[in-house]
Amino acid sequence: MPRINRMSSPHGRSAPIGGRLRLRLKEIGAFGVVGGIAFVVDIGLFQLLYGHLGVGAVTAKTLATLVSMAVAFLGHRAWSFAHRDTTAVRRSFTLFALINVTTLVLGAAIIWFVRYPLGQESLLVVQTANIISIGINSVFRYLAYRRWVFPAVADPDAAEKPQVPADGAVADDGAVPPAGRDETVPAVTRRVR
């Protein structure tokens, strides 16, 4: 019978590797939906402020990003990354805000560069630069949120569970060798079924 490689899931149970892929796809899909909503808020508010109310381009970008950031935080915490570690709201929002301030500065710098040094006043050109900055920042945000804001759930039993090497090697007595063992020592052999 073929062996199914299993790994620990966020809920402490063993899950097939295919389950991990499905979870990642669900996470990316939810990230996309929440990001899409925040994108509409960002673009719509920027359009309203800069295009119709006469607010300066950088100020409009800053205000639109702050509002869309709050929408995104609530959506990601409640849905996109709900299965991951949701530490204290203060900690996660602080990290979320730091990441978003970084991307806000990058986005505002792109808008500033297009609007002032390049002298572009067209709403279409400035909005295109805004959309490009959002795309660049989205990749950075996803990776940063997964790593720092909504980290993987720590499995307290992981230290007690044996780590099976990727090649499936086991000792002659069936025991799994300890992790980090020197690969030059031939202490394990493949079990043939």
| Tens digit of pLDDT at every position of the chain (193 positions) | 454 444 454 555 555 677 888 888 998 999 999 999 999 999 999 999 999 999 999 899 889 988 998 999 999 998 888 888 766 888 888 999 999 899 989 999 999 999 999 999 999 999 999 899 988 998 899 999 989 998 887 765 554 455 555 555 555 555 555 554 444 444 444 444 4
Say what the pLDDT of residue 53 is: 96
The number of distinct structural domains making up the chain is 1
> Is residue 78, in this structure, part of any structural domain at all?
yes
Classify residue 69 as left (phi > 0), alpha (psi -120 to 50) or beta: alpha
In a domain, 130, yes or no: yes
Residue 161 lies in a domain: no
The answer to whether residue 129 is domain-embedded is yes
The answer as to whether 167 is a domain residue is: no
Kindly state the tokens that stand for 93: 């929002």
In a domain, 88, yes or no: yes
Helix (H), strand (E) counts: the chain: 4, 2
Which domain covers residue 102, as residue numbers?
14-149
Residue 175 within any structural domain of the chain? no
Name residue, tokens 């991990």.
20
Measuring CA to CA, which residue among 130, 150, 168, 162 is closest to residue 3? 168
Nearest 5°: the CA angle 133, 37, 76 is: 90
